[in-house]
Structure 1
C-alpha cells in the first residue's frame, strides 16, 4: 500500500471529506493528488497530517512498510515470521527447512547466525556449534561499543546466551544495565527489546544457578536488575506479559516454586503460550 492509498484508507475510516482530511495543512487539491499517486508529500507534512487526526504512527507505517521496505528486508521479515512460528510450535522439521532457505537467502549475517543458534537450541545440538562460530558471535558483540542500540546486535545477544561463556554474558549484562540506566527517551519498541533481553537472561541464569541438589546458587546483581527493569515497565497491555514475567522469575529465584508454577499455569490456561511455554518448571 502506498502512502496515498493509506491516507485514503485512513480518511475513509475517520469518515472525513478530503478537505477535512487536508485540514489546512496542505491544500485540498494537493491532498487529492497525493492520494491518487500523482504527487509526493514531504515527511514533515505527512507527520503533521497524521498527528492532526490522532492517527497512530506505527499503525500507519505498518500499512505502507511492504511498499517502501527494501526487498532484502522484506524477505528477512517474511522468513523471520516463518521461522518464529516453527520455533514457537517446536516444529523441528519446519524450523530446519526454513533455516535451509535462510542460509541461501540475501539476508543479514546476524539474522542467519540467530537462526542457526535457535535451530541448535531446538534440536539440542548447541554443544555441536564449533568454537569458530561462537567466537564470531563474541567478535560481533565486541566490535560495537554501542551494541545495545544496534538492533541486529541486540537481537543476536538475546539469542546467544546458551553458547557464550558465562563470564562474557555477565559482563555484557553489567554493561547493558549501566547503559540503559543512563539513557533517556527510550522508545517503546526499544523498551520491549530490552525486556526480551531481561527475560532471556533470567531464563538462562536460572539454569546456571541450580546446583546438583536442586538448590538455587548465587543470584547476583544482574538478576535483580533484570527483574527490576521488567517491574519498572509501564502497566500497559503491551508490556503486561513482561511485568508478569518479573513476578514469575522473582518467585522462581526466591525459591517459591509453588507461586511460580501457579503464575505459569494461569497464563497457559488463558492461552498465553507463545513465550510462557518455554519458561522453566
Structure 2
C-alpha cells in the first residue's frame, strides 16, 4: 500500500472529505494528487496530517512498510522469518537449507553472523565457531559506542552472548544498563529488544555459574539489573512472558529451584513451549 492509498483509507474510515483531511496542511489539489500517487508529500506534512486526525502512527506505517522497504531488507526479513521458524521448531534440515541461502544472499553481515551462531547452536557444533569469528564480533561491538541503539548490532550481541568471552559479556552488559538507564522514552519495540538481551544474558549467566560451581569472577550486579529491567516492564500482554521470566530467573538465582520449576511447568502446561522450553531447568 502506498502512502496515498493509506491516507485515502484513513480518510474513508474517518468519514472526511479530501478537503477536510488536508485542511490547513496542504491544498485540496495537492492532497488529491498525493492520494492518487502523482505527487509526493514531505514527511513533515504527512506527520502533521496524521497527528491532526489522531491517526495511529505505528499502524499507518505498518500499512505502507512493504511498499517502501528496500529489497535487501525485504529479503532479509523473509529469510529471517523462515530461519527463525526452523530454529524454533528444531527443524535442522530446513534451518541448514535456509542458512545456505543467507550466506549467499546480499543481506546485512550482522544477520549472517547471527545465523551462523544459531546454526552452530542448533547442530551442537559450537566448536566450529573459531577465535577469528569471535574477534570479528567483538570488533563489531566495540567500533561503535552506540551499538546498544543500533538494532542490528544489538541483535548480534543478544545472539552472540553464548560464544563471547565472559569478561567481555559482563563489561558490555554493565555498559548496556548504564546507557539505557539514561535513556528516556524508549519505544515498545526497543523495550522488547532490550528484554531479549536481558533474558539471553540471564540464561547464559546461569550456565556460566553452573560451569564454575557457583563461583564467578564478576559480581551479581548485572543479574540484578537484568531481573529488575524485566520486572519493571509495562504490565501488558505484549511483555507478560518477559515479566514472568524475571520471576523465574529471580527464583533460579536465589536458589529457589522448586519455585523456578513450578513457573516453568505452569507455562508449559499453558502451551508456552516456544518461549520457555529451553529455560535452564
TM-score, normalised with respect to structure 1 = 0.92
Greater displacement, 26-35 / 40-49: 26-35
Q: Distance in 2 between matches of 1:105 and 1:116?
A: 14
In the TM superposition, what whole-angstrom CA distance separates every residue of 1:144-188 from its partner, at most 9, and x where no partner exists? Answer: 122111222111110011111111111111111112122223222
Displacement of 1:278 in angstroms is 2.2
Summarize the Cα distance change of 1:71–1:211 in structure 2 as closer, same or farther, 3 Å threshold. closer
Mean Cα deviation higher: 80-89 or 110-119 = 80-89
Deviations 1:54-99 (A, max 9, x none): 2221211111111111111111111111111111111111111110
1:72 counterpart residue number:
72
Name structure 1 gaps, 5 residues minimum.
none
CA contact (8 A) 1:202 1:223 kept: yes
Give 1:20-169 correspondences, 5 Å limit: 20-169=20-169
Question: What runs of 5+ residues in structure 2 fail to find an aligned partner?
Answer: none
Task: Provide the C-alpha distance between the structure 1 equivalents of 2:236 and 2:25, rounded to a whole number of angstroms.
Answer: 33
For residues 51 and 274 of structure 1, the distance between their equivalents in structure 2, rounded to whole angstroms, comes to 38
Q: Deviations over 1:10-31 (max 9, x none)?
A: 2333444334433443333322
Distance 1:37 1:27 in 2: 15
Cα root mean square deviation, aligned: 1.9
1:126–1:162 CA contact under 8 A, matched in 2: no
Q: Is the alpha carbon distance of 1:268 and 1:55 closer, same or farther for their aligned partners in structure 2, counting shifts above 3 Å? A: farther
What's the CA shift for 1:236?
Answer: 2.4
**How far apart are the structure 1 equivalents of 2:7 and 2:229?**
38
- Residue 238 of structure 1 aligns to a residue whose secondary structure is helix
Which range is displaced more, 27-36 or 68-77? 27-36
Secondary structure at the aligned position of 1:271 is classed as coil
What's the CA shift string for 1:203-253, capped at 9, x where partnerless?
1111111258xx755561110010011112222232222111111111111
- C-alpha separation in 2, matches of 1:5 and 1:92: 42
Q: Cα deviations across residues 82-130 of structure 1 (Å, max 9, x unaligned)?
A: 1111111111111111100000000011110000001001111112211
**Segment of structure 1 superposing worse, 4-13 or 195-204:** 4-13
- Report deviation, 1:190: 1.8
| Runs of 4+ that moved beyond 4 A | 215-219
Instruction: Kindly indicate whether the alpha-carbon contact (under 8 Å) linking 1:216 and 1:255 is maintained by their aligned counterparts in 2.
Output: no
Matched, 1:210 2:210: yes
Counterpart residue number, 1:224: 224
